[in-house]
Amino acid sequence: MLQLPRDAPGSDVCNRSGLPLLAICPNRHRRLIPFRLLKIREDDRTPLYGRPFKCKACGSPEVTLFAIESRSELDAIQQAMAEPKQAAKAPTTHPRPDPDKGLI
pLDDT 10s digits, 56-98: 888 888 888 888 888 899 899 888 888 776 777 777 788 888 8
- Overall pTM > 0.75: no
Give tens-digit pLDDT for 11-67. 666 656 678 888 899 998 999 888 777 777 777 777 777 777 888 888 888 888 888
DSSP, residue by residue, the chain: -EEPPTT-BGGGGTTS-SPPEEEE-TT--EEEE-HHHH---TT--SBGGGS----TTT--S--EEEE---HHHHHHHHHHHSPPPPPP-----SPPPPTTTT--
- Neighbouring C-beta atoms of residue 55, cutoff 10 Å: 19
pLDDT at res. 6: 80
